[in-house]
Amino acid sequence: MRGLRSLLFVPGDRPERMEKALGLGADALILDLEDSVALSRKEMARDAVTAFLSRPRDHGVTLLVRINPLDSDYAAGDIALLSTCRPDGIVLPKAEGAASVRALTVRLANCPPVLPIATETPAAIFALGSYGEVGDALMGLSWGAEDLPAAIGAATSRDEAGHLLPPYEMARSLTLFAAHAAAVPAIETVYPDFRDIAGLTAYATRGARDGFTGMMAIHPSQIAPINAAFTPSAEQIAHAWAVISAFEANPGAGALQLDGRMIDAPHLKQARALLARIPSIVS
């Protein structure tokens, strides 16, 4: 299985798009049964997702299913689907901390790894610190900037230029720390303006800089820029090796200089973490 840099949403009621999406270079597809599917098409979407998951999986693309929220009328039917045709992971919307993950895992025997969307309700924000309790059940942690404003009567989560407003910057930062506290990958949220590739690239690059290791996408045009942003560059890899070599050449040294800059324990940790991501990306 590849590392999770790009995760492309495909509406569950569009089987022809699922088929095509396999060849677009995304590391994962998120087959959506929730917000991108109209209520009148929920049943049809389940059938289409079931058929797609029942086919041979020799394509190397990780297949996730986003179910409807656990407190919705659709949850039971979605969970029944998951027990018959097993995806590689489950995206859990409107999650409110470890309690929501447990509520899913008790209802589904041998539950695949869960990727909660962890900031879609006001209460969810205050449960972010609990994900460490269920870290072993998680595939990562992601967040959303579309449902939260709707839930609190806000007009928007972004300013005219597309930049996140302060409440949503906070939700993003808390998700980043919550993911790392639970020792699972932090996955950036979608960039909705899919024609704005420059804006997407800047946003994904910022995410990689800040400690996210992947990002959700909504359109094929977003996949290549996301993969590029979340793939360590040749310079970053060379620098990481230089840091490790410097410490190996100076056993017992706590702090050293490399090209005129101080490096110590956190830099060594960063270098190891960066190199640890390489095999999952190139495999």
Q: Which residues bind ligand COA (CB under 6 A)?
A: 8-11, 17, 20-21, 32, 35-36, 190, 218-220
Task: Give the Å distances, CA to CA, from 80 to 83, 84, 129, 154.
Answer: 5, 7, 30, 35
Residue 196 is a binding residue for Mg ion (CB under 5 A): no
Residue 147 is a binding residue for Mg ion (CB under 5 A): yes
27 binds, among ligand COA, Mg ion, none (CB under 5 to 8 A by kind): none
Q: Are 229 and 202 in contact (CB under 8 A)?
A: no
- Measured in whole angstroms, how far is the alpha carbon of residue 39 from the centre of its chain? 25
147 binds, among Mg ion, ligand COA, none (CB under 5 to 8 A by kind): Mg ion
3-state helix, strand, coil in the chain (%, to 5): 45, 15, 40
Residue 133 is a binding residue for Mg ion (CB under 5 A): no
Residue 35 is a binding residue for Mg ion (CB under 5 A): yes
CB of 11 to Mg ion, least distance (A): 12
Q: Which of 17, 15, 37 is nearest to 26 (CA)?
A: 17
Q: Is 212 helix (H, G, I), strand (E, B) or coil?
A: coil
211 binds, among ligand COA, Mg ion, none (CB under 5 to 8 A by kind): none
CB of 244 to ligand COA, least distance (A): 39
> Closer CB to ligand COA, residue 20 or residue 163?
20
139 binds, among Mg ion, ligand COA, none (CB under 5 to 8 A by kind): none
User: Cβ–Cβ contacts within 10 Å for residue 248, how many?
Assistant: 8
> Closer CB to Mg ion, residue 72 or residue 105?
72
Q: Which of 25, 44, 103 is nearest to 69 (CA)?
A: 103
Residues forming the site for Mg ion (CB under 5 A): 35, 147
